[in-house]
């Protein structure tokens, strides 16, 4: 059985990323079911939200958010004959990846989180690069828009 760990935060984007992988099993695992370990990465809440919301309410919201996400993805994976394990991420993702890899002997890790403009996503493994250009995305976009407006005005 092939084990794949998938980090996700948006159902529609994750479905696009997972579609090619569902029929793309490793040659030695063809015919064997795939075990999908889905890790939901809920949006971060600000530090100041602690004034208004208790810790248990935050955890409850995270669980409900993850449940809605899993409800959209899990049926698609199960219909293809795969086994699905769901996890809600908490703490550093590289540490969670290491723990899940040891626990499930996963061969592949897929980062299917939607990229966010101007925001660096936390890497899921220690060897994953952070891209290095995130700090310049917004200024470069603003400069590009300014140049386009100047050219359009002429």
Q: How far apart are CA 119 and CA 75, in angstroms?
A: 30
Extract the tokens encoding 28. Answer: 């030695």
Record the tokens describing residue 31, joined without a space. Answer: 């015919």
Name the maximum alpha-carbon separation found in the chain.
Answer: 62
Q: What is the pLDDT of residue 88?
A: 92
pLDDT 10s digits, 114-130: 877 665 666 666 666 55
**Tens-digit pLDDT profile for residues 52-67:** 888 888 889 899 999 9
Domains of the chain as residue ranges with CATH: 2-153 (3.40.50)
User: Per-residue pLDDT for 80 more than 90?
Assistant: no
Q: What are phi and psi of 41, to 5 degrees?
A: -115, 90
Name the residue with tokens 């810790």. Answer: 55
Q: Which residue has the tokens 């889905």?
A: 38
């Amino acid at each position: 059985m092939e084990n794949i760990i998938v980090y996700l935060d948006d159902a529609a984007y994750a479905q696009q990323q997972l579609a090619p992988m569902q029929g793309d099993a490793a040659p030695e695992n063809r015919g064997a079911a795939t075990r999908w370990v889905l890790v939901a990465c809920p949006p971060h809440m600000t530090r100041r939200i602690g004034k208004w919301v208790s810790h248990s309410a935050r955890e409850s919201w995270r669980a409900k958010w993850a449940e809605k996400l899993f409800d959209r993805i899990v049926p698609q994976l199960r219909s293809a004959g795969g086994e699905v394990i769901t996890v809600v991420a908490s703490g550093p993702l590289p540490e969670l990846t290491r723990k899940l890899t040891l626990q499930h002997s996963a061969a592949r890790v897929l980062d299917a989180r939607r990229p966010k403009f101007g925001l660096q996503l936390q890497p899921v493994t220690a060897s994953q690069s952070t891209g290095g250009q995130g700090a310049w995305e917004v200024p470069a976009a603003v400069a590009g828009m300014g140049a386009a407006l100047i050219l359009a005005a002429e």
